[in-house]
Amino acid sequence: MSATAPPGRVHIVGSGLAGLAASVTLADEGHDVILYESGSQAGGRCRSFTDPELGVRIDNGNHLLLSGNSASCAYIERIGSIDTFVRPAEAAIPFIDIKTSERWTLRPGRGAVPWWLLHASRRVSGTRARDYLEALRLWRAAPGDTVAAVLAPDSVLFRRLWQPLAVAALNAGVADASALMFWRVLAETIGRGADACRPMLAKDGLSESLVDPALSLLSGHGAEIRFGSRLRALGFEDGRVGELLFDDNALVLRPEDSVILAVPAAIAARIVPGLTVPDDYAPIVNAHFRCRLPPGAPLFAGIVGGTAEWIFTKREVVSVTVSAADRIVDRPAAELRERLWRDVALAFGLPAAPTPRARIVKERRATFRATPAQEARRPAAATAWSNLHLAGDYVDTGLPATIEGAIRSGLAAAARVRQRRARAPALAAGPAPTIQTPTQIEDCQSALP
């Protein structure tokens, strides 16, 4: 942490993981940070809550982190929450084929050279070592290529590995998903061997592991956290943001102040003139069942050939995730409950009836669909205004809209604030920020372009 704080404040709007990553990085370095959140709690899509029907704590969605997610690991280390994760010693990804009842575990070996592919026990069942060489086609893919156009969609390896990984990471069907983005995901995980593939699962919940420790760090560094602050507009002047206009007040910024806008893409596009953002979003369906699996059941597993795609286990809760869930998102919750439990029962040898109590969570606009067309719509962190920087999983990080992508965008925005301060260390100090009353907001709005 810096001995003295740089001049000026950093105003960070949005407390999802992108905003939290930027906030804790800058606050820990000694910057004067104010974090604004329109709701009553932080975390965005990555948070936990106590479900009144199940009577247990669940996450709004299931997220799997791997040891190769470098930005996420740096964030977790900074907020001191590594001990809140379950971290199996072995890099192993178990799979179950519902249609054939086959089971196998993908076990990447140590080192970047994939000698492990020579061992059938480490590969996907029914595949040969040379089959995996086709992944190199992704590296040579053109910007407009899709996963299904580059890889062989009729192969065993495609159905049992490439497809489930691509759909989960890119939240898009393989016929539409970006081949280049999928390559980047593989290159940073499986492509780097076991050291990058060890799973990391929150013991208690996403909030307890990724959100609450960040808020505690911010409070410890004297950062302000203002909940219930909905940003309505930005005021621009002299090539910078000069005002933040909230529902009930307006904040006048000093020339040396910086702004990180870490709000959803649609909101950013509404308040930043001329901003192009992804506009095609795919749904994700999660089912949380109140039950316990037999002893020895894996912490998570991939499902092939069923409706469910990934199963996560946590004490008395078994959770199922279906990405790019357009085909089922409109089905009634009761139907989804029965349908998804059948996959869990088949996968783990449990009775199909009675179906345990469950909570179905539908995120109709979970993340942007990681297609070539949507990739071209992603903005950079930099904007046309000197003190305005963007963060969020929709910002162009090269990765899809995952936890790793969101955190990476927050770290990139924090780096831009740092660079701006380094380029202009002697910015003239303006008047202290002032809060305007609601009656003055209309006057502020009239100055907006």
Tell me what pLDDT residue 89 has: 86
63 — pLDDT class (breaks 50, 70, 90):
confident
pLDDT above 80 for 415? yes
Distance in angstroms (rounded) separating the CA atoms of residues 426 and 29: 19
Distance in angstroms (rounded) separating the CA atoms of residues 115 and 400: 28
pLDDT above 80 for 398? yes
Query: Residues 49, 51, 52, CA angle at the centre, nearest 5°?
Result: 135
Phi, psi for residue 178 in degrees, rounded to 5 = -70, 125
Name the more confident of 149 and 294: 149
Name the more confident of 435 and 271: 271
What are the structure tokens assigned to 324, written together?
């790019």
Could you tell me which residues are beta bridge partners of residue 37?
A: 227
pLDDT above 50 for 331? yes
pLDDT above 90 for 27? yes
Tell me what pLDDT residue 449 has: 26
Are residues 11 and 260 in contact, defined by beta-carbon separation less than 8 angstroms? Answer: yes
* For residues 264-286, average pLDDT: 97
Distance of CA 213 to the CA centre of its chain: 17
Tell me what pLDDT residue 431 has: 41
CB-count exposure of residue 225 (10 Å: 0-12, 13-18, 19+): middle
Residue of 75, 44, 47 lying closest to 62 (CA atoms): 47
The string of pLDDT tens digits covering residues 178-190 is 999 999 999 999 9
pLDDT above 70 for 445? no
Distance in angstroms (rounded) separating the CA atoms of residues 240 and 234: 10
The string of pLDDT tens digits covering residues 69-90 is 999 999 999 999 999 999 998 9
Distance in angstroms (rounded) separating the CA atoms of residues 181 and 248: 41
Phi, psi for residue 354 in degrees, rounded to 5 = -75, 150
In the chain, what are the domains?
9-45+207-276+373-445 (3.50.50.60), 93-196 (no CATH)
The string of pLDDT tens digits covering residues 119-155 is 999 999 999 999 999 999 999 999 999 999 999 999 9
7 — pLDDT class (breaks 50, 70, 90):
low
Tell me what pLDDT residue 5 has: 39
- Percent of the chain's residues with pLDDT above 70: 93
The string of pLDDT tens digits covering residues 156-185 is 999 999 999 999 999 999 999 999 999 999
93 Rama sector, left if φ>0, alpha if ψ -120 to 50, beta otherwise: beta
CB-count exposure of residue 288 (10 Å: 0-12, 13-18, 19+): buried
